[in-house]
Each structure stands twice: as structure tokens, then as C-alpha cells.
């Protein structure tokens, strides 16, 4: 699908470099036009002016071979099994622009450790303390990211190559949504479904894309892409790949229970891969 009336990918990248503040938004996303994809096949979304890929839609039907009713049931069970978030984490989530109350991130990063040692996030450690629940969730989702990874490899081969230099990683860390390095898990409930406020994920890899996967039983929750003035219709079980660091995004109102997963690569990890190559620091640091 070609969009004739939107910013080019190049323009979005330029804007990112010069201005990290939110662009000024029209007050009503309801004036934006809605993009509805055919649900029986994947669809590429490109800008007419420069041919840049703005998004790639994968309908739930695309995942039929792996997302069976059994898989979904286990996914929900493992999600509900995750330990409750600390009060301070919830408060932090509500201070963040996204304002998703029940959101947790599993990632490794180098943070500001002096020896540039990679370590998993506190949340990943905490959720693993009793019964390795974070690990169980990550393991269960593997086939989903593998399938999406194959798409990523064919559409963005260079970004894929750069983000999969995992052979240089120390033994004690591994990507948590391979080929993506990190996974954010947004948990909703019928009273409080996952609906995000406008934000950009500015720490993501500059030339990469993130993947959003939504699930459970709801209506609404479409993805508003502010600079493009479009609303992407996303139903439960659909996935959408897009540059979440370049395009300000949020959701329309939700009725029902909506959860979402976001898999992505971080720019700082790419820099780590480039900087160290085979000459990696040995670690074992924990937060």
C-alpha cells in the first residue's frame, strides 16, 4: 500500500536528528484517515515520495501455523503468572509519556557500567527470582519472533545483519526476542486495557524497526501514527513493524481486554556490537 499524502521516511529521520521534542499534534486524532488492511495477507506500507518503508502489517492469519488456541492459552497463563510489578515501577510507568500502567521490559544493556559489561534489566532478574517466570515467557514467545525475524531479514537485510551479531556476546546474556534484543510486555485488564499515550521510542536503533504484537479479546486499540495522520487498524493477533522511534504513536480507545508485546533493537547495543567485535569485555555484572 502506497501512501501519497504523508511525510517521507527521510523527513522523519531528519526531524529526529534535529528535534527530540514531541512534534505539535493536531488535537483530534479522529480527523486522521484510517488504514484498513486485507486480513488474509501481509501488506507493506510505503511513502510515495521516497519509497521508504513506513510499516509492514502481518495479519493474525499469517501466524496460524504457530499461534494455535493452545499457544494463546499458554501465553495468557504465562502472562498472568508474571509477578506483580513493584509500586515504584508502576509509578514510573505512569510518569513516562506512554502511560501504560502494567508495562515491563526485558533487555540487556551496558548502562553506565565502567567496564561496558552487559547485564539484564532489573525487571528480568526480579521476574526470574521465583520459578524463572520471565524466562518461561520469553521461551514461549520465541516462535513468534522467529517468524517475524524472517520477514525482517528479507525487508531490512542490513539492519537484520547488524542486529544479529550475537556471536560476540558474553555467555551470560542472550537476546530476549531474537532477532530483537528486547521485549516490552504490556499487560491489560478489562478495566484497564493497554492504551498508550503519544510517544516515540527514542532509544531504538536508528535504522531499524520495532514490532508490535497485540492480543486477547478487544475492540478498538488501533495504532495512531501522528506525523502520518493515519490510524492503523490492528486487531487482536495482528503484528505491525514500524519505526517506533521516528513516528509518534498511541492507541485509540479500547473496549475489552488488550495486551501488547513490543520487540525492538536498541541503538546502544548496536554500538556495543560495533565497538567490541570479537574483543568483548567479560563480565557477569548484575544490577
35 binds ligand AKG (CB under 6 A): no
216 binds ligand AKG (CB under 6 A): no
- Of 121 and 260, which has the nearer Cβ to ligand AKG? 260
Q: How far is the CB of 195 from ligand AKG (least distance, A)?
A: 7
Q: Which stretch binds ligand AKG (CB under 6 A): 36-44, 88-96, 171-179, 194-202?
A: 194-202
Among residue numbers 82 through 141, which ones bind ligand AKG (CB under 6 A)?
98, 100
46 binds ligand AKG (CB under 6 A): no
Number of residues located near ligand AKG, criterion CB under 6 A? 14
7 binds ligand AKG (CB under 6 A): no
3-state secondary structure labels for all residues of the chain: CEECCCCCHHHHHHHHHHCCCCCCCCCCHHHCEEECCCCCCCEEEEECCCCCEEEEEECHHHHCCCCCHHHHHHHHHHHHHCCCCCHHHHHHHHHCCCCCCCEEEECEECCCCCCCCCEECHHHHHHHCCCCHHHHHHHHHHHHHHHHHHHHHHHCHHHHHHHCCHHHCCCCCCCCECCECEEEEECCCCCCCCCCCCECCCCECCCCCEEEEEEEEEEECCEEECCCCEEECCCCCCEEEECCCCCCEEECCEEEEEEEEEEECEHHHHHHHHHHCCCCCCCCCCC
Binding mask 153-192 for ligand AKG (x = CB under 6 A): -------------------------------x-x------
Q: Which residues bind ligand AKG (CB under 6 A)?
A: 98, 100, 184, 186, 194, 196, 201, 212, 214, 223, 249, 251, 260, 262
Amino acid at each position: 500500500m502506497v501512501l501519497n499524502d504523508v511525510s517521507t521516511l527521510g523527513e522523519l529521520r531528519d526531524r529526529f536528528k534535529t528535534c527530540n521534542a514531541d512534534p505539535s499534534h493536531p488535537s483530534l486524532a479522529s480527523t486522521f484517515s484510517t488504514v484498513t488492511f486485507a486480513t488474509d495477507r501481509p501488506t507493506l506500507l510505503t511513502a510515495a515520495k521516497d519509497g521508504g518503508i513506513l510499516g509492514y502489517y502481518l495479519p493474525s492469519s499469517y501466524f496460524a501455523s504457530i499461534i494455535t488456541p493452545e499457544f494463546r492459552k499458554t501465553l495468557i497463563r504465562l502472562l498472568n503468572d508474571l509477578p506483580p510489578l513493584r509500586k515504584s515501577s508502576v509509578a514510573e510507568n505512569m510518569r513516562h509519556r506512554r502511560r501504560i500502567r502494567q508495562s515491563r521490559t526485558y533487555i540487556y544493556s551496558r548502562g553506565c557500567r565502567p567496564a561496558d559489561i552487559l547485564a539484564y534489566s532489573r525487571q528480568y532478574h526480579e521476574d526470574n527470582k521465583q520459578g524463572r517466570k520471565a524466562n518461561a515467557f520469553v521461551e514461549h514467545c520465541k516462535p513468534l519472533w522467529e517468524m517475524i525475524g524472517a520477514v525482517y531479514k528479507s525487508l531490512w537485510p542490513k539492519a537484520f545483519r547488524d542486529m544479529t551479531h550475537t556471536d560476540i556476546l558474553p555467555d551470560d546474556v542472550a537476546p530476549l526476542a531474537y532477532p530483537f534484543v528486547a521485549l516490552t510486555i504490556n499487560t491489560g485488564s478489562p478495566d484497564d486495557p493497554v492504551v498508550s499515550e503519544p510517544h516515540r521510542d527514542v532509544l531504538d536503533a536508528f535504522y531499524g524497526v520495532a514490532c508490535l504484537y497485540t492480543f486477547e479479546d478487544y475492540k478498538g486499540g488501533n495504532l495512531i501514527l501522528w506525523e502520518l495522520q493515519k490510524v492503523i487498524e490492528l486487531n487482536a493477533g495482528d503484528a505491525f513493524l514500524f519505526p517506533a522511534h521516528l513516528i509518534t504513536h498511541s492507541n485509540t480507545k479500547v473496549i475489552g481486554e488488550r495486551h501488547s508485546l513490543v520487540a525492538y533493537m536498541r541503538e546502544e547495543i548496536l554500538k556495543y556490537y560495533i565497538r567490541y567485535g570479537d574483543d568483548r569485555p567479560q563480565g557477569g555484572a548484575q544490577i
